[in-house]
Structures are given as C-alpha cells and as structure tokens.
Structure 1
C-alpha cells in the first residue's frame, strides 16, 4: 500500500532541502508547488517521527500540544508532496521531522493512528 504525503514549508529552500534528504528513501512522484496566498493557513502541525508504539521519538507531547494551530505569524508558501510505500513511511516521516516540515491535521492523525 502507498501513502500520499504532503508537507508544508515556509520557503522553497526548506522544501528543496527536505526533498533532497528524502531521496535516500524510496519515494515517487515528488514535486514542490507554491501555495497561493490566502488569508489563513490550513490546520498544520510540525512533522514528528513516531516509534512503533506511536509515541513521538522527539519527546513527550500532550494532546494540548498536538491540537494547536500553527503560530498565526506562520505562513506556508510551499507544498512538497510525494508517494511512499507503507514500509518506508516511517522513515520518510522521520526525515521530515528533522526539517521545518508541517503536516495537515488529517495526515498527522493518520500517522499517529498507524
């Protein structure tokens, strides 16, 4: 099974850096697009890497930390999207967690649930 992942970035350089790091992971159809200016940001959360027991390996996070909107001063202008196989998904998310990537709430919940 494949997963379609989308990661949001504040600038193109951060998106390009993340894509370069993802090249060591088997991904396909990767692309970076600019996001049209809008008055509000989608509900985004920092990309976190999860261990097999669904706990973030970057430290303990409470529900209040997770269910919080990105800082209102944060504006995301670039989207990196790609497909990754199920067996490589955790590695891809781990790579994203070491960048300035943010995921939308639905993607975050899918990753957290699995």
Structure 2
C-alpha cells in the first residue's frame, strides 16, 4: 500500500537533496515545484521522527512572508518555505521517508503527520 506525502522546504537545495535521498526507498511519482510567494500556508510544522510514529514539536511561525529591511546591507528575511516536494511511498518505508525529510529540514501539514 502506498502513502502520499507532501513536504515543504525553505530552499530548493533542501528539496532537491531530500528528493535524491528518497530515491533509495520505494517511492513513485516524485514531483517538486516552487511555492508562489503570495501563497500563505498555515498549519505546517517540522517533520520529526519519534520511533515508529511521527509527531510534531512546538510550532513557531515557520511560514513567514519575505520581510524587506531598511538596512541595505542586510538581506531580506528568507525563513519562509519556498518549495513543495510530493511523492508516494510504500507503507513499509513511510517512517524512513519521514526521517529523510527531517534530515533535510522538511515541513508537513500537521494534519497529515
């Protein structure tokens, strides 16, 4: 049986690295895309692997819009999520997939963990 996973990342590099690491598992239909800047995501939390089940830890505004600063030497804040990676994984590989997403700073909808 397959499970569908959608994970969000702060950088394209994090998403690409996670996708590459997931190739050792039995995944199918991997798809990565940028998240439009004007999109607002709520209820997205970091992926945590706690033994055989996944959980969540203290939600702190992981989704933030780009904030422009007045100081020209300081780059704009880039703490928002920019890329979505979705794929299907065999139920037997689900926890290992979550561990890989955690390693690559992935975030998931809290209702789907």
TM bin, normalised by shorter chain, reads 0.7 to 0.9
> Aligned residue for 2:70?
none
Is the alpha carbon distance of 1:55 and 1:14 closer, same or farther for their aligned partners in structure 2, counting shifts above 3 Å? closer
TM-score (norm 2): 0.76
Q: How many equivalent residue pairs?
A: 99
Is the alpha carbon distance of 1:23 and 1:41 closer, same or farther for their aligned partners in structure 2, counting shifts above 3 Å? same
Instruction: Kindly indicate which of the two structures has a greater share of residues assigned to strand.
Output: 2
Task: Map 1:1-114; keep pairs closer than 5 Å.
Answer: 1-38=1-38, 40-52=40-52, 54=53, 65=58, 68-73=59-64, 74-108=79-113
Give the Cα separation in 1 of the matches to 2:62 and 2:83.
17
Instruction: Kindly indicate which of the two structures has a greater share of residues assigned to helix.
Output: 1
Flag the structure with larger Rg.
Answer: 2
User: Structure 1 segments of 4 or more deviating over 4 A?
Assistant: none
Give the Cα separation in 1 of the matches to 2:9 and 2:109.
11
Unaligned runs of 5+ in 2: 65-78
TM-score (norm 1): 0.75
Cα RMSD of the aligned pairs, angstroms, is 2.0
